Structure 1
């Protein structure tokens, strides 16, 4: 009778371990892993206001809001963005592999302007409707960025005044394109062509929808954690947990001298 109870005890113990093995991975898949386990990088920015202006709490909050919207372009589900007074913002991005691309999306000021050939600003990103930038394709299937403007009449007048001339479309001081105005354009819609890929078009549209940064950012420091190191740390933690459970079972067996 005693041996039957011993066998039953070990069978139950084995069953518990099997259940742990089958249920652990699904549970783990549902857990959002942090930077230390999933890998990624952390970056610290310092706000660089223009001469004569100061960094305020409102400016920090506005900058943080823009950065949060931009991070959605990177596909990071739960970024960690924290304000460090008086003038810094720390960002932790788990799972990001292309750090240079992330830096470009985060730190680009993203001031959109339409200018004539003399440099006169005709329109800015403030003329875009909220969420008005999207991705489309031309007749040849090449990706482009579509723009929906708040004031259709304003854009129509600009195309009328500059008919037969070029209008430069700039992101900060980078010329994206300088199309010739071949006809008056009603309807308040424009396009930015010349995108190298769908991803490039999506990133530009995402930047425009997120809005321009209200202040320049200076990178102070950055730290990266490889996914390999994070996975190793996770595996070590799991192994340590299993060893702990085994020792607890062995302790119970020895302490109670096997049930019965």
Structure 2
């Protein structure tokens, strides 16, 4: 009786061991498997760099947009609002409004404000510049990790290496198509901006240079579908993707993929205020520097929701929604090193484990 009891326990242990180890040993689709790293199943190894100075410029641009919205909301007349990589400058037309605008600017962390008569200049402190650059790297790591998690990869490695480099290891990337899709998802800035079309000069866009447009505080952007189509838009956006709370793939009335997005409370307020006073004008939906659409504003748009239409495939729309939902990169990233790692070590290790398992079973 005692011997039979031990045999039953031994047999059950063997059965359970085979059932639970088979998916990992034979890399079956069904069942839970032990996660194999890059060295065991092969994949993609990348070293990325971050253009941190672009994060500083983006911060300055965002401050300029905040100043524009505040002055319009409070009916403060300002002129010559402009920015470069180091500062935002503008003129307050009514000197009595200076204390009010200065009070708003003092609330901006890490800023230095100087006033000369009615001319106002705002720049970032050296400490704030360093902080912004460091945050750009940390945010890039978190954003890339979020995108890859939603992409469906199992436990991707995304870690800082040195001061301004990011190590990315993606186990299980086997085909060229998978590699290309992962690289595009990682590197895409996914920078959404809603920008006003300069209706006063829009007809002259094809006769203007970038320098000409800059004199009016504008930029020239191309259409995403047809690069020959140009738009003249205000350089300072109405709002950007930092106010985005959600993005998902949907379909239009013709069953073509599009992106639905939602804004936070601040973004919804700015969006509503702008569309309310811009009826009859156009609003450009810009993604990564390309105009996806520039619809006419027929009425005030409340609720803080919008759509991005384009010539997408379903897969492209899904990946774009992931990128937007995960957040835009504060600074562009670039590829410094890339290599594909073969699964030869993994195959040898799995084969050795299988031999050890069978050998142990025979000996027992």
Q: What TM bracket, shorter-length normalisation? A: 0.7 to 0.9
Contact map agreement 1:163 1:184 (CA 8 A) in 2? yes
Greater relative CO (CA pairs within 8 A, separation 6+): 1
Measured at CA, do residues 30 and 103 of structure 1 come closer, stay the same or move farther in structure 2, by a change above 3 Å? Answer: same
Deviations 1:79-131 (A, max 9, x none): 11121122111000112342222222212222210112232211111222x3x
**Structure 1 unaligned blocks of 5 or more:** 1-14, 254-260
The reply on whether 1:199 has 2:315 as its aligned counterpart is yes
| Alignment-derived partner of residue 42 in structure 2 | 39
Q: TM-score, normalised by structure 2?
A: 0.56
Give secondary structure in 2 for the equivalent of 1:33. coil
Deviations 1:174-220 (A, max 9, x none): 22222222333222211111252222222222111211212222211
| Alignment-derived partner of residue 7 in structure 1 | none
| Alignment-derived partner of residue 298 in structure 2 | 182
Contact map agreement 2:41 2:347 (CA 8 A) in 1? no
Root-mean-square deviation (CA, aligned residues, Å) is 3.1
The reply on whether 1:143 has 2:253 as its aligned counterpart is no
Measured at CA, do residues 246 and 58 of structure 1 come closer, stay the same or move farther in structure 2, by a change above 3 Å? Answer: same
Q: TM-score, normalised by structure 1?
A: 0.76
Q: Paired residue for 1:84, among 149, 156, 161?
A: 161
**Structure 2 unaligned blocks of 5 or more:** 1-11, 26-31, 54-84, 87-128, 199-232
| Alignment-derived partner of residue 183 in structure 2 | 103
Measured at CA, do residues 249 and 210 of structure 1 come closer, stay the same or move farther in structure 2, by a change above 3 Å? Answer: closer
Aligned residues: 234
| Alignment-derived partner of residue 67 in structure 1 | 144
How many angstroms does 1:23 deviate by? 5.1
Q: Paired residue for 1:156, among 257, 268, 272?
A: 272
Of 236-245 and 161-170, the range deviating more from structure 2? 236-245
Contact map agreement 1:73 1:203 (CA 8 A) in 2? no
Deviations 1:131-180 (A, max 9, x none): x2122222222221111122433222322333233211111212222222
Question: d(CA) in 1 for partners of 2:308 and 2:242?
Answer: 16
Contact map agreement 1:115 1:167 (CA 8 A) in 2? yes
| Alignment-derived partner of residue 12 in structure 1 | none
Contact map agreement 2:45 2:168 (CA 8 A) in 1? yes
Q: Paired residue for 1:134, among 233, 248, 263?
A: 248
Contact map agreement 2:149 2:156 (CA 8 A) in 1? no
| Alignment-derived partner of residue 329 in structure 2 | 213
Question: d(CA) in 1 for partners of 2:283 and 2:304?
Answer: 16
Question: d(CA) in 2 for partners of 1:78 and 1:21?
Answer: 25
